[in-house]
């Protein structure tokens, strides 16, 4: 009997658990470890923020994976011992035959002094819930969403959020009293997609009266004066700050010898295998890079999903004594809510040369319904 150990109950980990639980059957052990007891569908954070979802609507207990033939251990990973084929958790050691690391990216708001005290972290579940309550009380003022640094998970998320905030305040009849603005270190919206896509998003922001500051490096946030300090001596005052914190690779990986200089896990771009045999890494924690450009590939749940399919199916083949033949192609899709029952559908192929192929269609109702349908599919199919 082989043991496949999955670290992390995010998108990638949950997909691996489902695929392996189904393909391996009762003859083998599939174990998922996470320090939290629940999975949250992060793609719906913007809807939770504007009170179109409740916390329970997008949350599922990881213990429900038992129905898929998967053992869940509610514990925190302390050390990964690849030479011993074991993982140390705060509840003991777990040995494995195959290891899948899907620990995601860590959020570090402390890289911007004042962030924790003066802004809502829109990538933090508890902060998003509190923000939803706060937004109900707003009657006017200036709201600024800022991105601390690159890379960050889901490149479309900040744009989706400001578009939905615009809709939210229009529906309440107070949009003329609310000023919205986005501050980003990017040169333009969707920089990897090229100038045409970036210009398209910029036009939408202008049409919706949403301010945009690009090429901005955030230095500090002063909660007392409610001032965001940028480089080049630029200061922005606001009544409410929403922030995307700096993203780092998992701390627990830094002593493993499996990470690159930036802390992201080095993997084969097609098999997702690390330097250690039978040890794989998927999702936001990986250091996948674009061909030619050699910059980090975009990080999003859709890519973790497809990587999980490749890795878990290859492991199932190897356990059965067959040759692993699935390959990751870096193809995916993304749908960005734009408000008022519409969304923009995007296709991504980031392994193409000399630059990634990314499209972004015009806002459409069918794209909106497609995103809603996927939310329902995910929360029922995988749990």
pLDDT in tens, the chain (383 residues): 999 999 999 999 999 999 999 999 888 999 999 999 999 999 999 999 999 999 999 999 999 999 999 999 999 999 999 999 999 999 999 999 999 999 999 999 999 999 999 999 999 999 999 999 999 999 999 999 999 999 999 999 999 999 999 999 999 999 999 999 999 999 999 999 999 999 999 999 999 999 999 999 999 999 999 999 999 999 999 999 999 999 999 999 999 999 998 899 999 999 999 999 999 999 999 999 999 999 999 999 999 999 999 999 999 999 999 999 999 999 999 999 999 999 999 999 999 999 999 999 999 999 999 999 999 999 999 99
Of 102, 150, 160, 158, nearest to 246 by C-alpha is 150
In degrees and rounded to multiples of 5, residue 127 shows phi and psi of -65, -40
> Is the peptide bond between 196 and the residue preceding it cis, with omega within 30 degrees of 0?
no
Q: Which helix (H) or strand (E) holds 342?
A: strand 342-349
Give the span between the Cα atoms of 153 and 283, in whole angstroms: 10
Chain segment 358-368, per-residue pLDDT in tens: 999 999 999 99
CB-based burial, 342-373: b 16+ in 10 Å, e otherwise: bbbbbebebbeeeebbbebeebbeebbeebbe
In degrees and rounded to multiples of 5, residue 89 shows phi and psi of -115, 175
Provide the pLDDT for residue 262.
81
- 3-state secondary structure labels for all residues of 85-146: CEEEECCEEEECCEEEECCCCEEEHHHCCCHHHHCEECCCHHHHHHHHHHHHHCCCEEEEEE
Question: Which residues are registered as beta bridge partners of 93?
Answer: 88
Of 160, 163, 144, 145, nearest to 209 by C-alpha is 163
Token duo for residue 61: 């207990």
Of 96, 75, 30, nearest to 277 by C-alpha is 96
Provide the pLDDT for residue 254.
94
Of 329, 272, 285, nearest to 98 by C-alpha is 272
Provide the pLDDT for residue 26.
86
Give the span between the Cα atoms of 226 and 241, in whole angstroms: 8
Looking up tokens 């330097």 gives: 275
Give the span between the Cα atoms of 244 and 261, in whole angstroms: 22
């Amino acid at each position: 009997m082989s043991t496949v150990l999955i670290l992390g109950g995010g998108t990638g980990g949950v997909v691996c658990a489902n695929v392996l639980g189904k393909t391996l059957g009762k003859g083998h052990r599939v174990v998922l470890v996470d320090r939290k007891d629940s999975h949250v569908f992060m793609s719906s954070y913007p809807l939770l923020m504007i009170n179109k979802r409740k916390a329970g609507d997008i949350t599922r207990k990881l213990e429900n994976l038992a129905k898929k033939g998967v053992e869940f251990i509610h514990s925190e990973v302390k050390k990964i011992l690849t030479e011993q084929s074991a993982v140390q958790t705060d509840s003991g050691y777990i040995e494995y035959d195959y290891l899948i690391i899907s620990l995601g990216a860590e959020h570090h708001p402390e890289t911007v002094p004042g962030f924790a005290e003066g802004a809502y972290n829109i990538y933090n579940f508890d902060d998003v819930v509190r923000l939803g309550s706060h937004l109900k009380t707003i009657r006017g003022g200036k709201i600024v969403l800022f991105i601390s640094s690159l890379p960050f998970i889901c490149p479309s998320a900040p744009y989706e959020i400001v578009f939905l905030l615009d809709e939210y305040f229009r529906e309440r009849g107070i949009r003329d009293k609310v000023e919205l603005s986005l501050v980003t270190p990017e040169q333009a919206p969707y920089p990897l997609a090229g100038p045409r896509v970036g210009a398209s998003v910029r036009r939408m922001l202008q049409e919706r009266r949403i301010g945009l500051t690009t090429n901005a490096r955030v230095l500090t946030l002063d909660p007392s004066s409610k001032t965001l300090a940028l480089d080049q001596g630029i200061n922005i005052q606001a009544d409410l700050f929403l922030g995307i914190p700096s993203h780092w690779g998992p701390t627990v990986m830094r002593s493993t010898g499996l990470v690159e200089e930036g802390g992201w896990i080095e993997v084969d771009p097609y098999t997702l295998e690390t330097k250690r045999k039978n040890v794989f890494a998927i999702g936001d924690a990986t250091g996948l890079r674009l061909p030619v450009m050699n910059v980090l590939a975009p990080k999003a749940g859709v890519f973790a999903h497809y990587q999980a399919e490749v890795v878990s199916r290859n492991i199932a083949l190897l356990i059965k004594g067959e040759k692993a033949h699935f390959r990751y192609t870096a193809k995916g899709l993304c749908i960005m809510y734009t408000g008022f029952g519409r969304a923009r559908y995007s296709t991504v192929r980031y392994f193409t040369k000399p630059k990634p192929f990314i499209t972004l269609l015009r806002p459409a109702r069918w794209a909106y319904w497609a995103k809603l349908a996927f939310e329902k599919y995910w929360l029922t199919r995988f749990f």
